[in-house]
Structure 1
Amino acid sequence: MFEQQPFTQVSESVTRYGDTTYALVNCDQPGDCQLLVRGVIDGFEGETLADGSLLGSRSPHNAVVLRQRLPWLQPAVLGLQTSAGFGDRLGIATPGHVLATRGTGVAPIYAQQSVRENTRTGRTPQQVVDDAMWGAFHAGWKESWGADADHLKTLEDIPPFVAAGYTFYTIDPGEYVDDAVETDDAETRRRKVEQLPWSDLQSTLEETSERYQRAFTLDDRTLTFTQEDLYKALGKYGGAVAHTARMARRLQELQDQRPFEMEMSVDETGTTTALLEHFYIASELKRLGVPFVSLAPRFVGRFEKGVGYIGDLDELTQNINGHASIMRYFDNSYKLSLHTGSDKFEVYPIAMQATGGLVHLKTAGTSYLEALRLIASIDRPLFREIWDFTREHYENDRRTYHVSAVLSETLPAEQLTDEQLPELLNQFGPRQILHVTFGSVLDTYGAELQRILRAHLPEYWAYIQRHFDKHLAPFKQQTR
């Protein structure tokens, strides 16, 4: 332990490793901590003190050196463990995520951000990893954690995430998914199939037909491809499989033997992923040598931002069971991924029972919503201003999301009492409106939000812990 004064240390962060002790100190203003290193200080930047220790900032340079010194602060691959991703759009939520994760047995991905989110928050992939790392260090997390480069769509998206040390890459080939195939006539569908990038698929239509036009026996059902079924799967997802393979090859080149994991996500598309289509996708990815650890199909019903599942739970149960049976056909070699997974409390037990723990939960904006919940309680004038601002920007900001909140069914701030403000975070429409307008809000109010939240970080982390305790409870109870 550090004993020299006047340093006020974060006790959870104090770490002795080898001949050196590390800690965060001087956190009088939460979020403005400094790094104290006592022992071997070579490589760190900062002020060398009279006793030979070093006091430095939480700079990008010191983050690099600290990761080199404390290997558990480097993002790692998580394999087939039951896992959960925690998006943090403000860069200060990770200690709350650690509080919720500790003791659950769920493998966490603390750094998770998409290109779209980075653009809207003005953060870089490296900043996201560094913020998560400092948060994990602050909270004393010494187990493995991952970093997810979420919803990568182009080859050009990849390099900044590789340079920042990400270990999990979510490939989103949604632009190559042809939903129209489901309603195309037979001739149009045949023409689309013939025009697929067969060189990237490393096959031909004839070979593919021979591979799939037969029955496949699963543990609880039989899947049979007719020519029409196969052409639908090929026409709808063949281009997406080819693009995912291209992305995988680029990743393998850039990673240069460093371990990484991949996920293929087709959840943000217009039509449900049929079981036969899931089977085709998984089989082709394996044939092409794509190292995917999880797959996010488009399940039945609607998984919308920030709210519960919309649809029939019995139908969803049957659907997830079917997808899980395909996963088992492939020797449980990958996980089912629940995208837009936050606040779907009724879904988690279903997914866990179906998969036996081979599941990845992905959340994004729900930690940001908990920040707004706190703001609604401690700075009501600011929250009123933000609420009216989000109502003005909702129709534009919703365009890249699958949401169904109706603006006309909400009230402006002047018609709400102070007591009603926090309740907006519990209501379907207002919650979605607040969720998808985060980019516009942070552009305008980001500095003020950071100032207030950093002055109330323990309260914010308590909000996050309470929220994610509820998320992770079903996974904790059934983790393999």
Structure 2
Amino acid sequence: MVHTNKPVILGLKKSFGFGDRLGLAGPGHLAALKESSFRGMLAQQSIREISRTRRRADQVVEAAQQAVEEARYTRPWGADADHLKTDLDILSMVEAGFTYFTLDPSEAVVQEADTMQEDELQAEAEKLVREGVMPKGWEERYLGEKWDIDQGPPLAFDEESLLRAAVKYARATAEAARLHATVARHCTDRPFEVEVAVDETIGATTHREHLFLATELKRRGVSPVAIAPRFVSRFEKGIDYVGDIDVFNEELERHAALARKLGPYKISVHSGSEKFSLYPSIARICGDLLHIKTGGTSYLEALRVVWREEPELFKEIAAYAASHFSEERGSFLVSTTQEEVDALAHSWPADAELAYFGERIGRQLLHVTFGSILVLGRRASGLPFNEAIHEVLAAHTDEYREALALCLGKHLSLLEPEEA
């Protein structure tokens, strides 16, 4: 098949990322976008997801392209290679045709800086200069300066807050610059855009840390189209926001103001699915400088179709997922425990659809075990779950498309700005 509508860069247009772990969600994603003003990141997959599903990166882009062509979709769309940490990961995604590269230098973030004593911070800062991570006299460009932003008083550093920000993020900015150079080296024949993501850290990114991060990226020649901070409280997988919404909104106001001042660039919200309580304020605060990432939602809606059409298959999947939850949950931010999963699995709930698709325990159980289900799991008959799920969805394409249009359409409608 000759593809005539390939992914492109989307720039500073508000965008929405759709994850597709099965390669079958494209028609539903396009149906959800039909009435939306968002640009679609129709191919979005992290290295972690590709590894766990054993798909190839080019298959992710091909599935989105096929959906685009079959729907005769003509609006620009993008392809996000998510959470890239190595040169080899970048190369595979470039070769597959991705256009948006989410660089993840989180392993270089020194999270211990949050609790270091002053003498430890000073010693680590001196090491940054000695090892060439920061230039001699780097503090001069920060101390004594004030940054006026739209929301709240000007931002300024004292010596302690500056040292804490530098020790925490300086190495991460250097790693992001190195990864950016790798992308540029492999994309000499086509445009690309990058996001820098530090959302998978323990502590929330403060406004001063955001300022330091963005300033150092710029000094190193990196101009991201988006930055993903670690927000306050908990952005758990598969459920609504867990935390004080007023506090989140106040924090986001300043992050968005920094994005306008220091870029402009978009604020990228990871684990953005099902954060319904936040969407109206996120839309109001960020405007067009917004990127939302959703990952497992389309997979959960696929399993919802399985439950409705082949309940015995779903029961086998749910039991298998429960037996693999503890080994799969480690790399995801979830509050569900093995004890809660065991209690759910012990007796089949009277309203199974609500329990598995409408409540925290069931949703997070299904969300984090997709790797085991799609690669290792088999029915009692021996048929792999992956094949069985594909068979159900192939027989019920309309139902799957409609389920996605309803679910993701709700996400997008709540993210549209309210009419004056």
Determine the C-alpha separation between the residues in 2 that align with 1:235 and 1:311. Answer: 28
Quote the residue 1:475 is aligned against. Answer: 415
Q: Secondary structure at the match of 1:217?
A: coil
Which string of whole-angstrom CA distances, capped at 9 and with x for unpartnered residues, describes residues 200-246 of structure 1? Answer: 75x5141x201111222222321110111111111111111000000
TM-score of the pair, normalised by structure 2: 0.94
Tell me what 1:188 maps to: 120
Q: 1:155 to 1:478 in 2, by over 3 A?
A: farther
- Within the candidate set 386, 391, 395, 1:451 is matched to 391
Residue 407 of structure 1: aligned partner: 338
Aligned residue for 1:55?
none
Contact 1:152/1:158 (8 A) holds in 2: yes
Q: Distance in 1 between matches of 2:132 and 2:284?
A: 37
RMSD of aligned alpha carbons: 1.6
What is the CA-CA distance between 1:195 and the residue it aligns to?
A: 2.4
Q: Percent sequence identity over matched residues?
A: 39
One-letter amino acid of the structure 2 residue matched with residue 74 of structure 1: K
For 1:306 and 1:198, the matched residues in 2 are separated by: 44
Decide which of 283, 302, 305 is 2:237's aligned counterpart: 305
Paired residues, what number? 408
SS at match of 1:216: coil
Cα offset, 1:404, TM superposition: 0.9
**Counterpart in the other structure of 1:35:** none
1:116 is matched by which residue type in structure 2? R
- Residue 370 of structure 2 aligns with an amino acid whose one-letter code is F
2:21 and 2:239 map into 1 onto residues whose CA distance is: 18
Equivalent residue for 1:76? 8
Q: How does 1:103-142 map to 2 (within 5 A)?
A: 103-142=35-74
Tell me, in whole angstroms, the C-alpha distance in 1 between the residues paired with 2:163 and 2:413. Answer: 42
Q: Secondary structure at the match of 1:292?
A: coil
Residues 352 and 358, structure 1, Cα contact 8 Å, conserved in 2: no
- Distance (whole Å) between structure 1 residues aligned to residue 129 and residue 50 of structure 2: 31
Q: Does 2:303 align with 1:363?
A: no
Q: 1:265 to 1:348 in 2, by over 3 A?
A: same
Match of 1:212 among 119, 136, 142: 142
**Matched AA of 2:271:** T
Residue matched to 2:111: 179
Aligned match of 1:465 in 398, 405, 409? 405
Q: 1:447 is matched by which residue type in structure 2?
A: E
Q: How far did residue 258 of structure 1 move?
A: 1.3
Partner residue in 1 for 2:307: 376
The amino acid across from 2:293 in the alignment is K
Q: Which amino acid aligns with 1:465?
A: A
Shift of the 126–109 alpha-carbon distance from structure 1 to 2, 3 Å rule, reads: same
Residues of 2 paired with 1:272 and 1:194: CA distance? 25
Deviation at 1:456, TM superposition (A): 0.8
The match for 1:324 is 256
In structure 1, distance between residues paired with 2:305 and 2:110: 42
Contact 2:280 2:417 in 1 (8 A): no
Counterpart code for 2:394: R
CA distance in 2, matches of 1:276, 1:103: 38
The question of whether the paired residues in 2 share the 8 Å contact of 1:308 and 1:345 is answered with yes
The separation in 2 between residues aligned to 1:259 and 1:372, in whole angstroms, is 37
1:230 aligns to what SS in structure 2?
helix
Alignment partner, residue 337 of structure 1 = 268
SS of structure 2 residue aligned to 1:77: coil
Quote the offset at 1:257 in angstroms. Answer: 4.3
Distance 1:417 1:187, change over 3 A: closer
Greater relative contact order, per chain length (Cα 8 Å cut-off, separation 6+)? 2
Q: Please give the per-residue CA displacement for 1:63-90, whole angstroms capped at 9, x wherever unaligned.
A: xxx22xx2xx111000011100000000
Deviation at 1:157, TM superposition (A): 1.1
Q: Which residue is 1:385 aligned to?
A: 316
Correspondences of 1:433-448 after superposition (within 5 Å): 433-443=365-375, 444=377, 445-448=385-388
The correspondence for 1:273, drawn from 195, 205, 208, is 205
Q: Give the alignment partner of residue 194 of structure 2, picking from 262, 265, 268.
A: 262
Counterparts of 1:211 and 1:124 in 2: how far apart (Å)? 45
Q: Deviations over 1:76-135 (max 9, x none)?
A: 000011100000000000110000002311000000111110011111110100011101
SS at match of 1:429: helix
Structure 1 counterpart of 2:324, one-letter code: H
Per-residue deviation at 1:457? 1.1
- Give the CA deviation at 1:478: 5.5
Change (3 A) 1:189 1:359: same
Matched, 1:147 2:79: yes
Alignment match, 2:380: none
Matched residues in 2 for 1:222 and 1:412: separation? 50
* TM-score normalised to structure 1 length: 0.82
CA distance in 2, matches of 1:145, 1:200: 40
Shift of the 260–82 alpha-carbon distance from structure 1 to 2, 3 Å rule, reads same
Q: 1:265 to 1:199 in 2, by over 3 A?
A: same
Which residue matches 1:50?
none
Kept in 1, the 8 Å contact 2:10–2:76? The answer is yes
Which letter does structure 2 place at the counterpart of 1:234? A
CA distance in structure 2 between the aligned counterparts of 1:185 and 1:463, rounded to whole angstroms? 52
Larger Rg: 1
- SS of equivalent to 2:225: strand
Task: Say if 1:335 and 1:358, in contact at 8 Å, map to a contact too.
Answer: yes
Question: In the alignment, is the contact (CA less than 8 A) between 1:373 and 1:422 conserved in 2?
Answer: no
**8 Å contact kept, 2:129–2:136:** no
CA distance in 1, matches of 2:248, 2:235: 11
Paired with 1:262 and 1:200, the residues of 2 have a C-alpha distance of: 24
- The answer to whether structure 1 residue 284 and structure 2 residue 216 are counterparts is yes
After TM superposition, give the deviation of residue 196 of structure 1 in Å. Answer: 2.7
3-state DSSP of counterpart to 1:280: helix
Q: Unaligned stretches of 5+ in structure 1?
A: 1-61
Cα deviation for residue 198 of structure 1 reads 7.3
TM-superposed deviation, 1:350: 1.4
Find the residue that maps to 1:238 and give its secondary structure: helix
How many angstroms apart in 2 are the aligned matches of 1:171 and 1:182? 23
Assess if the C-alpha contact under 8 Å between 1:387 and 1:412 holds in 2.
Answer: no
